[in-house]
Amino acid sequence: MYDIVILGSGPAGLTAALYAARANKKTIVLGGDRLGGQMAGIADLENYPGWQGSGAKLAEFMKNQAETFGATVKFVGAKSVESAPENQFVVRATDGKEYVGRAVIVATGASPRKLEIEGARELMGRGVSYCATCDGFFYSGRTVIVLGGGNSALNDALYLADLAKTVKIVYRKSDFFRAEAVLRERVAARENIECLFNTDLKKIEPKPDSQDGELIVTTTDDKQIIVDGVFVAIGHEANTDYLSEDIKRDAMGRLAPDALPAGMFVAGDVHSDIKMQIATAVGTGCAAGMDAIAYLNKLQ
């Protein structure tokens, strides 16, 4: 039995764990299969105040800090969350065990939205990737496409530009309206980044007889581009499939705090109506932790 079960080991979950553990609440973090969530994939974290270094190192620092105050972190995922008698929740996890808590904080973040065009699923891991920092090394000196036009896409393009020979950003709008100005300026300054506006991808297929795994990418205006890899950065969907259908979600699968049952709280990218940033994840993690502490103190 735990006071607080936290789902997710990104910045939101680890912040909530720090606050819960420091309040002397018996706390466990079920961290999924990757410490830090999406933050762990950021090679050079520039926009989190007070930190210089990678997202993975920040995640490790946050984990160690929470553990110092008594929090337990286990790398298993949640399969379901059910209410139980006496103000309890039962979390069934991927390790086959059940974790019972008097409060639950949902901080499982979001995952990249998958590209739904011909060839995208079939070639995933064989030329199509959703993680530039994970797979960029394999495309050193080669030609790649980045699909998308937000901060994530431009960050991916800049990271890949240090490795690849040529990076082509394909975006369906006429400009990078959603991306930060500093990222737009950096992209414009890179000689090996080419921007293809007002277009999208329609089909991805292996190039016949290619010895190097090249791909033929067909755009919506029926142009064909020969590349070695396609990196997809077209947004995210909240990781909430394990929750019951009676818990209200928005179009992205995110949760509204005021629609949750008593004793359940939400933090980070899975929280509705917040900007998906590390700083906001930490802020909502703090709030969820404090709200859970206050909730448990009232039950005593």
Which active-site residues does the annotation give? 131, 134-135
Q: How far is CA 14 from CA 72, 118, 204, 274, 277, in A?
A: 10, 38, 39, 18, 15
101's CB contacts (< 8 A; 6+ apart) are: 1, 2, 3, 4, 5, 28, 88, 89, 91
**Closest by alpha carbon to 275, among 178, 169, 148, 149?**
178
Helices (H), the chain: 11-22, 55-68, 132-135, 151-161, 181-189, 278-299
Q: Calculate the CA dihedral of residues 17, 35, 282, 13 and round it to 10 degrees.
A: -40
- At 29 the three-state DSSP class reads strand
Buried b (16+ CB within 10 A) or exposed e, 182-200: ebbebbeeeeebebbeeee
